[in-house]
Structure formats: C-alpha cells, structure tokens
Amino acid sequence: MTNDFRGPTRFNHVAMSMPADALDEHGRADITAFYSEVYGWQEHPTMTEDRKRLVMGVHSYDQFVFLIADDNPMTTPRLDHFGLSVDSLDELHEVLALAKAYAERDDRVDIIDYEVEDHGPLKLHNFYVGYLLPMMVEVQYFELSES
C-alpha cells in the first residue's frame, strides 16, 4: 500500500465528552481560567454553546481542545492523558510553577510532579496536571545528548 500524503500527519485536536453541568457558565469560566493562566489556551467564543460545547485554542487556530456535553460523559483512569511539548527546560519549569501556584488556591488541581526519564541519548523531562477535564495533560521536554 502506498501513502499519497504530501507530508506527515500531525495532531490538531483532542475531543472529550463531559457532563452538561460542567459546561455551564460557571464550569466554563473555571476551565478557561485555569487553562488560560497555566497553558495560554484561549476560548473560541464563537464556538461556545452553553451546556453543550467549549472549544479552546492551543496557540494556533488549527490546534484545539474540544469539549462536548454528553449524557454518558467520558470517564478515564487518573493517568489517561494527552501530551504537550515545550521548547526548553526553563519553559517546562515555568508551566509547572504556574500549575503549582494555581493549585495553592484551587484544590481541584491534581499534579504529578516533575521527573526525568533517562533513555540514554534522550532524557524526557515531564509532569502531569489534571483539572476538571476527563484527561490529564502531560508536559514534556525532550533533551537530546550532544554525543
């Protein structure tokens, strides 16, 4: 079988179902406040529909998190997640500091703290954060050795 694509595919969104009550005015305000402050995501207000839908842009019009109300919303184990990468170790620590600062004033923030996985020529720096969504967000920095 041949591949007719002109370039590699890439992720552009993550969709999760949630209870309608979680997407009411108050729920959306909590979700957008956290994800905006910690990750810089912005609500697409033209896509918002009270108790039905919330779409948050992830730094680009074609990258987004799509939250949709459903009578049987998504449930996941704690470590089910999707990943974001950053360009430097400093950025990773900055995002973690923002999440920890938010956690000091909101006990619904769930953090699995920073660790480094050493895979020889690659060190994976990461942490996980959960907040109101069915899935956690893992933030990663890939450190390649010089050798």
Q: Does the pLDDT value for residue 119 go beyond 60?
A: yes
CA proximity to 14, closest of 81, 59, 90: 81
Q: Cα dist. 130→24, 116, 145 in Å? A: 19, 19, 30
Q: What is the pLDDT of residues 34-93, one digit of tens each?
A: 999 999 999 999 999 999 999 999 998 899 999 999 999 999 999 999 999 999 999 999
Q: What is the pLDDT of residue 147?
A: 63
Q: How confident is the model at residue 139 (pLDDT cuts 50, 70, 90)?
A: very high
- Helix (H) or strand (E) segment spanning residue 92: helix 89-105
CA proximity to 138, closest of 19, 10, 14, 9: 14
CB 50 within 8 A of CB 24: yes
Q: Name every residue whose Cβ is closer than 8 Å to that of residue 125 and which is 6 or more positions away in sequence.
A: 89, 92, 114, 115, 116, 140, 141, 142, 143
Q: What is the pLDDT of residue 30?
A: 98
